[in-house]
């Protein structure tokens, strides 16, 4: 036994000596060199050096933070640089870290301390190709014009996350050649379609997230080949057509998000085989048909969201099935009939709004609340006559049996015209163009002869010529006569006045059909044809803006040289009144403030990223944020163009806005960009957190700027030093700290340091979801609706009826150059 012990001690001594020799050699050569290389990388990235990184030591021997090492050769294999303040492109020095298998340069919103701002095409990563298996680069605004090509050659990647990077251009199809990929996150960029069928070749994928892009295509059936997939997220992607039946092959799929698109047709029967599925989200589509018993009979289904669709028919006893695993079921805003279903006590449900159940319950919300195109009676009648409900705007009925709709252009793309017909059309077009040129020249000569006539005659004559073009009222907007509006407001009686702003006074009007609408009458009279034309252009533009967090124009009147807009009437007024006018205001708790912040961000992101053409609001402030009956927020008051030489169709340089909310770069340089709206949003977000106005007077009568007041207090005393006392401490400190820090960043003096509204959403939306993992049962007084980040087809929106706060110098709409 003593001999064995002696041998054991000898081996231990030998191991200790060997390890010491390795460490000494490492410290004196390669390991310390690798540490120096790492220090050079972080310095070149303009980030602060972690305190544990001591020059001259080996990262693996000295236990440097953020570093993971291979214990065999003491080389760096993983580097986590998330949220440490990286600035600029990837430095060339990173090529020396050839052993790297995992690199994280992302931002993690719920752990925000210091945001990275990595930019460029990531080309410096090319030398890492042999070993790099994981690349996390999400939540960086890379500022590139196409997807980084260097990634196409990183053929050993297993995990790739370049989500929330605002990368433009077509879908990066070349990524489908990376056969080892198991996790691919591309969500919330600016990709265009179509979604490529080549994705079906990536059979190793377990997670695929391509949400928040603008594909304008169908979802390829080849996705059914991804048998290992557990997570598929295609929400808010401008997808149309049927729900692919081929997805029923994905036996391992656990989470499926297809919400906020324009899918049509029924829920495919083939999906009965999705036995692993526990979350199914189809909200905010045009899904048609009935809900079959097997849907809730799926073995592991826990959460089902099918609200805001065109589903109909009764909901049978499956809803009451005690064997279901469901914990959350949302079916509101459909056309279900029969008796109101009774859910089990363990299920959180949301069904008591705008279905067609046999009930006289006054708490059931109306069709209008759900922003429907048809009420229950109209829907049933339409389906009875035509077999299918109307397709979404811009789509045509491609399959009348399954009620499947596709993009309207698709119906004519395959048609071929004879050459003779094409030639004839071309000749006709040439003749028409020549005729228009002649008419233009004649009109020009006529204008010169009449240029000395009175201004009144000029208006009448030019407008008459303009009317010859027979300007058509935009679709979905009603053209009211002046008499209709006068009758609705008792002759614009002062008793009917509910507010005023830069455009003019706002009245509440009651119409014969029982509708109550808000009527904004301009305080000036249009005295030129140009002014009238601009007003009509404005009406046309406003009629095209459709998002559930934006106002929607109901109608207008342009007779008798008047400019009048008509919106839906909202009793709950604006955010300014609820934050700063305690009398008659409804209490906003911490969650509702966070929800309002997300909803306003969604509205602005739509204006900046999805409106065609894009729009800059120019006057974001609490009095231009309306709250509906459930205190859900809608951005309003884009303003009305006036007769002015500065009115143009791209970026206006005429100063407009409200003191306290105006972008200082816009004020100093007259450079208006979407970042100007981001600045104003940052001020509003800070008002939600602090309960303080953008500009207020202290006890000495001096004016205080909210940003300048809050920033140092936040840094020195934390969130408790600035949070609204009305919350009485009832708020999550970590979330509100994130909100305050984000608000300060949005209101940065230099516009390049501000995030986009898309990035704002990527930070706030996870906070909203995390703070309410299971949605509460709504009450009559405080219904909390789930808000989605994208356009809800046909969504109802409402105007701001009264300012209730500081009156802006001018409120006007600004259209960006089409992208």
Q: In sequence order, what are the residues at sequence separation of 6 or more whose Cβ sits closer than 8 angstroms to the Cβ of residue 363? A: 352, 780
- Count of C-beta atoms within a 10 Å radius of residue 505: 18
- Count of C-beta atoms within a 10 Å radius of residue 481: 11
**Which tokens belong to 50?**
């972690």
In whole angstroms, give the CA distance from residue 615 to residue 639. Answer: 12
The H or E element that residue 737 is part of is: helix 733-746
In whole angstroms, give the CA distance from residue 533 to residue 171. Answer: 39
Buried b (16+ CB within 10 A) or exposed e, 413-438: eeeeeeeeeeeeeeeeeeeeeeeeee
In whole angstroms, give the CA distance from residue 94 to residue 34. Answer: 10
CA distances 564 to 470, 541, 750, Å, are 20, 15, 38
Instruction: Assess contact for 35 and 43: CB atoms under 8 A.
Output: no
Residue 66 burial (10 A CB sphere; 0-12, 13-18, 19+): middle
- Count of C-beta atoms within a 10 Å radius of residue 6: 10
CA-CA-CA-CA torsion for 801, 803, 809, 812, nearest 10 degrees? -30
In whole angstroms, give the CA distance from residue 405 to residue 392. Answer: 8
Residue where the block lists tokens 């979404």: 392
CA distances 548 to 133, 207, 560, 794, Å, are 41, 30, 33, 8
Residue 11 burial (10 A CB sphere; 0-12, 13-18, 19+): exposed
Whether the bond into 613 is cis, omega within 30 of 0: yes
DSSP state of 670: -
Strands 286-289 and 310-314: parallel
Whether the bond into 409 is cis, omega within 30 of 0: no
Instruction: Assess contact for 675 and 663: CB atoms under 8 A.
Output: yes
In 3-state terms, what secondary structure has residue 727? helix
- Count of C-beta atoms within a 10 Å radius of residue 681: 28
CA distances 410 to 192, 387, 404, 789, 793, Å, are 17, 22, 13, 27, 20
- Count of C-beta atoms within a 10 Å radius of residue 456: 9
Segments in 29-86 forming alpha helices (H): 30-44
Strand order in the sheet with 504-510: 478-479, 553-557, 564-568, 516-522, 504-510, 497-500
Instruction: Assess contact for 106 and 139: CB atoms under 8 A.
Output: yes
In whole angstroms, give the CA distance from residue 544 to residue 215. Answer: 20
In 3-state terms, what secondary structure has residue 438? helix
Which one of the listed residues 349, 619, 632, 724 is annotated catalytic?
Answer: 619
In whole angstroms, give the CA distance from residue 70 to residue 689. Answer: 46
Segments in 29-66 forming alpha helices (H): 30-44
In whole angstroms, give the CA distance from residue 708 to residue 686. Answer: 11
DSSP state of 239: B
In whole angstroms, give the CA distance from residue 220 to residue 247. Answer: 10
**Which tokens belong to 157?**
């990647």
Known binding residue 9? Answer is no
Instruction: Assess contact for 215 and 239: CB atoms under 8 A.
Output: yes
**Which tokens belong to 520?**
């904004």
Look up 121 and say whether it is catalytic. no
Residue ranges of the annotated binding site for ATP are 520
Catalytic residue numbers read 619
Residue ranges of the annotated binding site are 520
């Amino acid at each position: 036994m003593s001999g064995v012990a002696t041998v054991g001690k000898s081996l231990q001594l030998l191991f200790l000596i060997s390890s010491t020799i390795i460490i000494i050699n490492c410290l004196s050569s390669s390991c310390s060199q690798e540490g120096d290389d790492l220090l050079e990388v972080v310095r070149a990235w303009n980030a602060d050096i972690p305190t544990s990184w001591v020059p001259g030591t080996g990262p693996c021997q000295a236990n440097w933070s953020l570093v993971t090492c291979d214990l065999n050769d003491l080389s760096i294999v993983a580097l986590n640089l998330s949220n440490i303040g990286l600035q600029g492109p990837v430095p060339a020095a990173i090529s020396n870290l050839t052993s790297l298998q995992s690199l994280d340069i992302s931002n993690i919103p719920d752990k925000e301390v210091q945001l990275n701002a990595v930019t460029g095409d990531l080309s410096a990563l090319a030398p890492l190709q042999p070993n790099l298996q994981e690349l996390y680069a999400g939540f960086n605004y890379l500022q590139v014009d196409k997807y980084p090509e260097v990634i196409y050659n990183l053929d050993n990647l297993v995990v790739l996350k370049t989500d929330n990077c605002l990368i433009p251009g077509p879908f990066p199809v070349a990524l489908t050649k990376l056969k080892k990929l198991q996790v691919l996150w591309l969500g919330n960029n600016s990709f265009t379609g179509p979604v490529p069928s080549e994705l079906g070749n990536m059979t190793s994928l377990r997670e695929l997230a391509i949400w928040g892009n603008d594909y304008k295509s169908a979802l390829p059936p080849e996705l059914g080949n991804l048998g290992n997939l557990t997570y598929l997220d295609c929400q808010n992607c401008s997808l149309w057509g049927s729900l692919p039946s081929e997805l029923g092959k994905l036996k391992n799929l656990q989470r499926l998000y297809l919400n906020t698109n324009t899918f049509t047709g029924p829920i495919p029967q083939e999906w009965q085989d999705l036995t692993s599925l526990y979350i199914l989200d189809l909200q905010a589509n045009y899904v048609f048909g009935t809900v079959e018993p097997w849907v809730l009979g799926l073995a592991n289904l826990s959460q089902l969201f099918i609200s805001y669709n065109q589903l109909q028919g009764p909901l049978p006893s499956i809803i009451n099935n005690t064997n279901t695993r469901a914990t959350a079921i949302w079916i509101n805003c459909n056309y279900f009939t029969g008796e109101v279903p009774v859910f089990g006590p363990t299920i959180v449900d949301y069904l008591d709004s705008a279905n067609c159940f046999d009930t006289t319950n006054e708490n059931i919300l109306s069709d209008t609340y759900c922003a429907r195109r048809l009420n229950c009676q109209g829907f049933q009648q339409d389906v009875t006559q035509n077999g299918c409900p109307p397709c979404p705007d811009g789509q045509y009925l491609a399959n009348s049996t399954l009620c499947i709709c596709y993009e309207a252009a698709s119906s004519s793309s395959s048609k071929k015209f004879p050459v003779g017909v094409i030639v004839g059309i071309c000749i006709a077009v040439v003749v028409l163009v020549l005729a228009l040129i002649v008419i233009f020249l004649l009109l020009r000569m006529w204008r010169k002869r009449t240029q000395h006539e009175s201004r009144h005659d000029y208006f009448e004559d030019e407008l008459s010529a303009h009317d010859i073009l027979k300007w058509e009222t935009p679709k979905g907007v009603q053209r009211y006569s002046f008499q209709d509006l006068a009758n609705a407001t008792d002759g614009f009686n002062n008793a009917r006045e509910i507010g005023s702003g830069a455009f003019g006074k706002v009245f509440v009007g009651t119409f014969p059909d029982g509708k109550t609408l808000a009527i904004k009458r301009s305080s000036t009279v249009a005295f030129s044809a140009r002014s009238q034309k601009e007003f009509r252009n404005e009406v046309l533009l406003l009629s095209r803006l459709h998002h559930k967090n934006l106002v929607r124009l109901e109608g207008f009147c342009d007779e008798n040289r008047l400019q009048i807009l008509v919106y839906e009437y909202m009793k709950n007024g604006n955010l300014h009144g609820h934050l700063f006018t305690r009398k008659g205001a409804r209490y906003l708790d911490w969650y509702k403030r966070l929800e309002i912040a997300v909803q306003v961000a969604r509205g602005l992101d739509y204006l900046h990223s999805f409106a065609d053409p894009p729009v800059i609001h120019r006057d974001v402030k609490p009095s231009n944020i309306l709250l509906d009956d459930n205190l859900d927020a809608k951005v309003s008051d884009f303003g009305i163009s006036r007769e002015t030489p500065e009115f143009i169709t791209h970026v206006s340089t005429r100063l407009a806005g409200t003191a306290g909310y105006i972008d200082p770069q816009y004020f100093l340089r007259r450079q208006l960009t979407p970042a100007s709206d981001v600045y104003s949003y940052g001020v509003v977000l800070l008002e939600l957190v602090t309960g303080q106005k953008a500009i207020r007077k202290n006890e000495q009568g001096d004016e205080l700027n909210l940003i300048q007041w809050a920033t140092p207090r936040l840094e020195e005393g934390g969130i408790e030093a600035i949070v609204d006392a009305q919350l009485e401490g009832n708020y999550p400190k970590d979330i509100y700290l994130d909100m305050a820090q984000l608000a300060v960043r949005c209101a940065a003096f230099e516009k390049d340091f501000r995030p986009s509204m898309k990035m704002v959403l990527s930070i706030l939306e996870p906070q909203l979801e995390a703070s309410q993992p299971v949605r509460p049962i709504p009450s009559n007084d405080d219904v909390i609706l789930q808000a989605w980040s994208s356009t809800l087809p046909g969504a109802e929106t409402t105007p701001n009826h009264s300012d209730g706060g500081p009156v802006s110098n001018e409120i006007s709409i600004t259209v960006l150059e089409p992208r």
